[in-house]
Amino acid sequence: MRMHLYRWFALLVMAVGMPSIALSESLNCQAVTAETCDIAGKLGRGINLGNMLDPPREGDWGYWLLPEYLDKVAPLFQTVRIPVRWSNHAAATEDATLDERFAGRVDKVIDSYLAKGMYVILDLHHYNQLFGDALMPNEYPVAPEVLETRLVNMWQQLAERYKDRSDKLIFELLNEPHGKLNGEPWNALLARLIKTVRSSNPTRTILLGPTEWNAAKDLEKLRLPEDRYLLIAIHNYEPFNFTHQGIKYLPKPFPTGTTCCNKQQQLMITDALDLAQAWSKKHGYPLHVGEFGAYKAADMDSRASYIRFIRDEMEQRGMGWTYWDFASSFGIYDPKARVWIEPLRRALLD
């Protein structure tokens, strides 16, 4: 009964926007430290600052991470996830020496949000060649034999660079491993990455996810090293033909006009969450939903219905989340009008 009442109260407090509540009592944390569990519970509600620092070149996709966004985001969210395409801002050689000018820009973004008391997830995003994906415009190729070592060396530099930052800074090793990394290749690489980070950050929280684009169904394929400072991320874009309708860059684009969310669609959403929760109970690692969202081509009422439904389902399971995303094509903020898209903001936060 006490656990039931605690969880009910915690979810109530989250619903009215108070950032200080910890949900650690409702999480599965047998495999991690009490401090890591506490951080997992306090991540709460978050937002991705996507398509800003993760294009091949900053600004390529028409979005810039402006200082004014700090004041927009900080009062409403507990966590920001900052996707960064470090691979295109590092030497093409094995050492992967970081572009200091770009890294300094990222420093300022991280420090601004930490200064507001927020949790910050630094996410290494879009290392396309490592997965076997086609390169994007303005993305440069590297020799295949140095792909993995470059990633390790990027994290060696980042870990050293940020080792003295607050424990509210979380390192996310690689966004959505897939393709050539599926299965055991990812397990081998993540062990190298964790060892590298631990040389300078022995207790820093590390966030990592399964293969197939952080799919819940691939959680059982993870082979984690002995480390009690890990959080596990999944992404949930089900039903995919709704959330990604109208996106032209997909190999087989989905037609527009799909609405949401009927019982079958709701079941697709909850099945993934339940699968992840079952894995978490079995293995004792707390979960975070690092991405979910609906593309702008869907009708507004359906987008709002989808957001409210999945938000409620995640919070009922004690899962913190970061919505994709703030101000681009999945966004809940209009950067041109400089206003929140109210139906979406209300669905996500009210």
Answer yes or no: are the C-beta atoms of 260 and 69 closer than 8 Å.
Answer: no
194, part of any domain: yes
- Provide the CATH number for the domain around residue 315: 3.20.20.80
Confidence of residue 165 (pLDDT cuts 50, 70, 90): very high
Taking residue 137's Cβ as centre, other Cβ atoms within 10 Å add up to 8
pLDDT value at residue 27? 87
* Average per-residue pLDDT for the chain: 93
d(CA 49, CA 112): 13
Read off the pLDDT of residues 6-25 as tens digits, 9 standing for 90 and up.
Answer: 333 344 444 444 343 345 55
The tally of domains found in the chain comes to 1
> Where in the sequence is the domain holding 303, given as residue range(s)?
32-349
163-to-20, 115, 159 alpha-carbon distances in Å = 24, 16, 6
71-to-27, 76, 221, 327, 339 alpha-carbon distances in Å = 30, 9, 40, 14, 12
116, part of any domain: yes
7, part of any domain: no
d(CA 37, CA 23): 9
224, part of any domain: yes
17, part of any domain: no
- Phi, psi of 335, rounded to the nearest 5 degrees: -70, -20
Q: pTM score, two decimals?
A: 0.93
Please enumerate in sequence order all residues whose Cβ is within 8 A of that of 319, keeping only pairs 6 or more positions apart, or say none: 273, 276, 277, 287, 288, 289
Read off the pLDDT of residues 245-260 as tens digits, 9 standing for 90 and up.
Answer: 999 989 899 999 999 9
6, part of any domain: no
Is 50 exceeded by the pLDDT of residue 5? no
pLDDT value at residue 13? 41
13, part of any domain: no
2, part of any domain: no
Q: What is the pLDDT averaged over residues 88-115? A: 98
Q: Which of 26-35, 203-212, 231-240, 261-270 has the lowest mean pLDDT?
A: 26-35
